[in-house]
Structure 1
Amino acid sequence: MNLRPDPTFHPSPKMAMEAPVETLAFTLMLSPDGTKPDGLAVVDVDPNSDTYGQIVNSLFVPNLGDEFHHFGWNACSSSLSPLTGHAFLERRYLIIPGIRSSRIYIIDVKDPMDLKIHKTIEPEELMAKTGYSRPHTIHCGPEGIYVSTLGGGGKDGTDGPPGIFIMDCQTFEIQGRYEMDRGIQDKHYDFWWNLPRDYMVSSEWGLPPQFENGVVAEDLLSNKYGHTIHFWDLRARKVVKSLDLGENHQMALEIRPAHDPVKEYGFCGVVVDTTNLQGAIFTWWRDDNGEWQAKKTITIDPVPAEADDLPDLLKGFGAVPPLVTDIDLSLDDKYLYVACWGLGEMHQYDVSDPMNPVLAGKVEIGGIVKKTKHPNGKDFGYGPQMVEISRDGKRVYWTNSLYSTWDDQFYPGDRGAAMVMANVGENGGLTLDEKFWTKFPEGYRSHQIRLEGGDCSTDSFCYPSV
């Protein structure tokens, strides 16, 4: 235990924005066919370094077939909660779930040049203590580590609904299920919260048979993927309202609440509208009567394309859907970044007015049809996918792999892993940094990014910005 709070813990978003900038990033590497062990790469993001943009260290786990996905810290700024916090924890461990194996690794990154596996939680233990499988998203809460899952029990993960479980933030022992009353929630994806306001919001993707072997076209066209977001009483651990976004809004994924806890709104990305192939962003909020509401505030149109230029899954549609697969919100709650994985575009929206977002910038790179090269002339396989923003909001990083079987459906053939960075203009706008290009080992793909000292999809704050 530290004698004083970790200096990377910040009471408010504004104070986090004023903290020292990141010099390292941690990026997941996965073997799409399971023939190599997945790994964690340490990337130099210091522009004054001789190894800028390069992998300077890595760790590979001893098992095969994990498929690393969304990972997170053991502790973050939420530890400063005045009610339930653990202020003297250390941001030291990364919790990495294997979405395919249901195995969880605890990695000690105190010395980024000497990474160590601190603990491994086997799938049998996870199932025995929670009844859940396919761990997906990690959030460091004030009193423990929250982990969402995409599967229930049984071999195919459909024996009971998926949910959230809690781990001890010091011993990493699994405590048990979070939910006391889940209401109609029967699928899962992302979740996040407003700690002082005492609520959580969760979303839905699909059950394991709907995603593990790729998109099930029949389920998609029948609107059988998730399209509901759930609002929870965080401490009572029960759903207080479920909002159906409309069954045509298939795959409600990332949940991004405003970082300033005074604000009671946030955003959710929807992969595709099955009536018109649009991507969409919904703004959700609590109205003056205390009721939860949601409204579609951004739509992104598909682009017509010749069947010969499209993968088999899309040939009959004659168009490329945007495929909104990740979103992220800057710490000042000003810019929302939207990854359009199908089009090969990263959008930047000014969401100062969350009900009326305005497109402020756009980068084209990769894409099913466009295949736009990086400014350095290199091919960027797939499209912009997992996006992460620096605490000061001046740099936006992203990688290109979604999920191995989905990569193969939408972008047949191995396209190679990549990580890039774009600089943010003083008044908005995005420009790719020509010098930043991370090359990963042959045969690997890249997924989520975590920045040294915290980032915009890690930390939740307990005090308002001044």
Structure 2
Amino acid sequence: MNIRPDPTFHASPKLAMEAPPESFAYTVLLSPDASKPDALAVIDVRPDSPTYSRVVHTVTMPNKGDEFHHFGWNACSSALSPLTGHAFLERRYLIIPGMRSSRIYIVDTKPDPTKAAIHKIIEPEEIFRKTGYSRPHTVHCGPEGIYISTLGGGGKNGTDGPPGVFIMDCETFEVLGRWELDRGPQTLHYDFWWNLPRDYMVTSEWALPPQFENGIVPEDLLSNKYGHRIHFWDLRARRNVQTIDLGANHQMALEVRPAHDPVREYGFLGVVVDTTNLEGSIWTWWREGGKFHIEKTATIPPEPAAKEQLPPLLQGFGAVPPLVSDIDLSMDDKFLYVACWGTGEMRQYNVNEPRRPKLAGSVRIGGIARRTPHPNGKAFGGGPQMVEISRDGKRVYWTNSLYSTWDDQFYPDGVPGAMVMADTKPDGGLELARDYWVNFPDGYRAHQVRLDGGDCSTDSFCYPSV
């Protein structure tokens, strides 16, 4: 334990933006057929380094079949909370859940990222016994502990009771128990985040394990049986205070991105597909008059494609839906990045007016029908998927795998692991960096990215920017 706050903890988003740039990126790798253990790749992102954009270290796990997906830090800027913080923690350990196995790995990144190693393994039985949940998903470092959302309840299929959120001790990594005291109508789960000083949490919905583990279930999608609601919670009281239904046709309400500056009581939600027209959409929520409100503020249309360009799953539609699979908000709350995994587009919206997003930039790479190569000429399987933004907002990184069985359905020719980066322009616009291309070991796919020192989908802040 430090005797002073970790220098990577920042009181406000503005101070985080002024911090030194990232030196290393961490990316989880999954073996889609479980023929080898999943792994954590450490990538050098220093432009002046001889190993720039290369994997410089790999932490290979001792088990197979974990299906790495999302992960996060043990501690971040939320530790500076004036009421419940632990300011003398270090941003040191990465918490990496296996979404299919329900096992969690704790990886120590100190004293050097290129020597990162497993610190502890939490077996699924402990999670089942203490929480009744399974399929851990999103990890967020809170002021007093580590919060982890789940996609499954109890039982072999994860359908014995609803999924939810549980808390781990941020120093011992002991699983403490369920977070919710009163879940209200919440029965599905996916992402969550919060506004700490305003004392509320936001959660979203995907599906139960039988609806995603073996691939998308077309009948369930067309019957609008995937998640389509957003939930608002009293963070301190741990109770659901409001649920809003987006409409059953707005299937798979996934990533939630609150404004970083806690003065701003709004945020964004990405919806994968509208089953009436195959559109993807962005929604903006806000609080006014003591109530939360949400509205659709941007839509992304499908793109027509010939039958021979489409996987069997889409051939009856004659078009490629954008499939909005991830969104991320820059630290200054100015630009929202939207990953369109189906059409192979990364969109950049100016959201200075949060209820009136304006398209400010776009690049194409991969895609079901287009299959746009990288500017360096290399093929990019899949499409833009998990996106991460540097603290200063000048670089945007992304990978290309969504989930192993879904990859196989939408991209049957394969999704070899890849990670790229785009440079951004201050007033909008982005361009893929020709000299940034990460080669991962054969047989692996790449999912979420974390940056050393924090990034735009990691930290929550306790104080306003000045």
Alignment of 1:35-434 (within 5 A): 35-110=35-110, 111-287=112-288, 289-434=289-434
Give, in angstroms, the shift of residue 413 of structure 1: 2.7
Residues 13-39 of structure 1 show CA distances to partners (whole Å, capped at 9, x for unaligned) of: 000000000011000110000010000
Equivalent AA in structure 2 for residue 266 of structure 1? G
Give, in angstroms, the shift of residue 415 of structure 1: 2.8
Could you tell me how far apart the structure 1 residues matched to 2:418 and 2:330 are? 22
Could you tell me how far apart the structure 2 residues matched to 1:458 and 1:386 are? 13
Give, in angstroms, the shift of residue 221 of structure 1: 0.2
Equivalent AA in structure 2 for residue 123 of structure 1? P
Residues 136-191 of structure 1 show CA distances to partners (whole Å, capped at 9, x for unaligned) of: 00000000000000000010000000000000000000010000000110000000
List, as ranges, runs of 4+ consecutive aligned residues in structure 1 with deviation greater than 3 Å: none
Could you tell me how far apart the structure 1 residues matched to 2:13 and 2:426 are? 19
Secondary structure, in 3 states, of the residue corresponding to 1:406?
Answer: helix
Equivalent AA in structure 1 for residue 376 of structure 2? N
Percent identity between matched residues is: 74
Structure 1: segments with no counterpart, 5+ residues: none
Could you tell me how far apart the structure 2 residues matched to 1:300 and 1:142 are? 36
Could you tell me how far apart the structure 2 residues matched to 1:24 and 1:151 are? 32
Give, in angstroms, the shift of residue 427 of structure 1: 1.3
Could you tell me how far apart the structure 2 residues matched to 1:216 and 1:113 are? 41
Equivalent AA in structure 1 for residue 38 of structure 2? D
Could you tell me how far apart the structure 1 residues matched to 2:442 and 2:17 are? 36
Q: TM-score, normalized by length of structure 2?
A: 0.99
Structure 2: segments with no counterpart, 5+ residues: none
Could you tell me how far apart the structure 2 residues matched to 1:44 and 1:432 are? 18
Equivalent AA in structure 2 for residue 252 of structure 1? A
Equivalent AA in structure 1 for residue 45 of structure 2? V
Equivalent AA in structure 1 for residue 26 of structure 2? F
Residues 290-317 of structure 1 show CA distances to partners (whole Å, capped at 9, x for unaligned) of: 1110000010000011111110110111
Residue 460 of structure 2 is aligned to residue 465 of structure 1:
no
Residues 349-399 of structure 1 show CA distances to partners (whole Å, capped at 9, x for unaligned) of: 000000100000000000000000000000011000000000000000000
Could you tell me how far apart the structure 1 residues matched to 2:323 and 2:58 are? 31
Could you tell me how far apart the structure 2 residues matched to 1:117 and 1:51 are? 24
| Alignment match, 1:445 | 445
RMSD: 0.5
Equivalent AA in structure 1 for residue 198 of structure 2? R
Equivalent AA in structure 2 for residue 302 of structure 1? P
Residues 63-103 of structure 1 show CA distances to partners (whole Å, capped at 9, x for unaligned) of: 00000010000000000000000000000000000000000
Could you tell me how far apart the structure 2 residues matched to 1:203 and 1:190 are? 5
Equivalent AA in structure 1 for residue 157 of structure 2? D
Could you tell me how far apart the structure 1 residues matched to 2:172 and 2:102 are? 19
Give, in angstroms, the shift of residue 113 of structure 1: 1.5
Q: For this pair of structures, how many residues does the alignment match?
A: 465
Could you tell me how far apart the structure 1 residues matched to 2:417 and 2:2 are? 38
Secondary structure, in 3 states, of the residue corresponding to 2:62?
Answer: coil
Secondary structure, in 3 states, of the residue corresponding to 1:127?
Answer: helix
In the alignment, is the contact (CA less than 8 A) between 2:382 and 2:414 conserved in 1? no
| Alignment match, 1:17 | 17
Could you tell me how far apart the structure 1 residues matched to 2:90 and 2:415 are? 38
Could you tell me how far apart the structure 2 residues matched to 1:117 and 1:211 are? 29
Residues 403-441 of structure 1 show CA distances to partners (whole Å, capped at 9, x for unaligned) of: 000000000032311000000012110000000000000
In the alignment, is the contact (CA less than 8 A) between 2:400 and 2:419 conserved in 1? yes
In the alignment, is the contact (CA less than 8 A) between 2:153 and 2:163 conserved in 1? yes
Secondary structure, in 3 states, of the residue corresponding to 1:261?
Answer: coil
Equivalent AA in structure 2 for residue 435 of structure 1? D
Could you tell me how far apart the structure 1 residues matched to 2:426 and 2:134 are? 44
Could you tell me how far apart the structure 1 residues matched to 2:185 and 2:212 are? 21
**Greater mean alpha carbon deviation, residues 111-120 or residues 401-410:** 111-120
Residues 290-346 of structure 1 show CA distances to partners (whole Å, capped at 9, x for unaligned) of: 111000001000001111111011011110000000000000000000000000000
In the alignment, is the contact (CA less than 8 A) between 2:401 and 2:415 conserved in 1? no
Equivalent AA in structure 1 for residue 220 of structure 2? D
Give, in angstroms, the shift of residue 460 of structure 1: 0.1
Residues 228-270 of structure 1 show CA distances to partners (whole Å, capped at 9, x for unaligned) of: 0000000000000000011000000000000000000000000
Secondary structure, in 3 states, of the residue corresponding to 1:316?
Answer: coil
